[in-house]
Each structure stands twice: as C-alpha cells, then as structure tokens.
Amino acid sequence: MENNLINEEMIFGCFAAAQKGEKLEQSAESFVDVEEYENAVMYPEFARWARSAGYPEVSELFLKVAGEEKLHSVWLRELYSEMGTPAEGNDTARAKATIATIKQNCAKLIENNPQKVIENALKVAIRVEEREYQQIYPKFRDQAIEQNNKKAADVYQRVIDSEREHANWFQAALAQVQTKHATKEAAFA
C-alpha cells in the first residue's frame, strides 16, 4: 500500500457488486448481502474517515445514506421473509478485506491529506451509486419483470430511484468540498 495517499482506485475496492443469479431468490440474497454490507461496514467506515478528517457534514451524509441502504434491504426482506442471513458473496468478502487493509493505515493517511481522502471517498461513493442505479439493479428489476414478480420489480425500481438520489447527494457534497478548498487556496494566494 502506498504510504502517502489513499487513492480513488484503492477506495473503489471497498465496493461490493451484487450478483444477479439464475433464480430471482439468488439475486435477492446477493442484493441483501451487499446492501447490508454498505449499511453496516462501508458507509460507516467512510463516515469515520470524514469525521476524523474534519468534515462532519460529509460524515453525517455517509451515515444518512448508510441508513437508507438498510431500508433497501428491509424493503426486499419483506418479500422474502424466510431469507435469514444470506451467504457472504465473494465480492463482499473481498471488499471487506480491502476496508480492513485501508483501516490499518488510514489514521496517518488522513492526517497527511484529509481533503484528498474525503474527495476520493465521495468520488467512489458516486461511482458505487451510479453503478447500482444505472447497471446492476435495472437487471434485477428486469429479471423480476420477466418472472412476473411485480412486487419484487417495484422494490428494485424504488431502490434504483433511491440510489440515483444518493449519487446526486454525493455529487453536491463533492462540489461543496471542492469549492471550499478552492476558496481557501484563493485566500492564501
């Protein structure tokens, strides 16, 4: 691991992609596994970085989105009441390992360049949310439509709309962080 920066690609390793299965139930399990990972691990960790980097508002936003990821899993669990704890997906396991590696080094790295770390975390969050609402979850919705499961299709559509909103919130937060930085630089020029 580089010792001077948590770069964007490294943070993107924290993203776990839900996998569309052959059966609708398999897709549902992967969806819940990923959404609960984002709720319990990924976004709380990003929130912790933002707090220690001195960006409490960005930290609050990560926590707010974390709460909504939990809701997404609850919406789908209502349709699959027997689900229990889904098996951990390969990609989720890999993403957790990446978070653990970054965690070991992040205190020092955040100290070195707090703004860059938070900008990169927001850029990754935007990519994650865009990937979900543009590519991954539309496939889940279409699979549900093909199988005449309107309730599941409706839930995936609600999730798509919500992930789009998350991407917009993160875009706005990134613009604010960058504007603040530009203003500060101008003041010292």
Select 74 or 107, whichever has its Cβ closest to Fe ion: 74
| Token pair recorded at residue 183 | 């203003």
CB of 86 to Fe ion, least distance (A): 15
Binding status of residue 72 toward Fe ion by CB under 5 A: yes
Closest CA to 153 of 166, 144, 165, 164: 144
User: Using an 8 Å Cβ cutoff, are 73 and 32 in contact?
Assistant: yes
- Cα–Cα–Cα angle for 52, 114, 188, rounded to 5 degrees: 125
Stretch that binds Fe ion, among 8-16, 31-39, 76-84, 111-119 (CB under 5 A): 31-39
CB of 183 to Fe ion, least distance (A): 29
Contact track, Fe ion, 117-156, x by CB under 5 A: ------------x---------------------------
CB of 17 to Fe ion, least distance (A): 12
Contact track, Fe ion, 162-181, x by CB under 5 A: -x--x---------------
Please name the residues in contact with 76: beta carbons below 8 A apart, sequence gap of 6 or more.
28, 31, 32, 35, 152, 155, 159
CB of 186 to Fe ion, least distance (A): 34
CA distances from 32 to 40, 57, 97, 157 (A): 12, 27, 19, 15
Select 29 or 163, whichever has its Cβ closest to Fe ion: 163
CB of 10 to Fe ion, least distance (A): 20
| Residue ranges binding Fe ion (CB under 5 A) | 35, 69, 72, 129, 163, 166
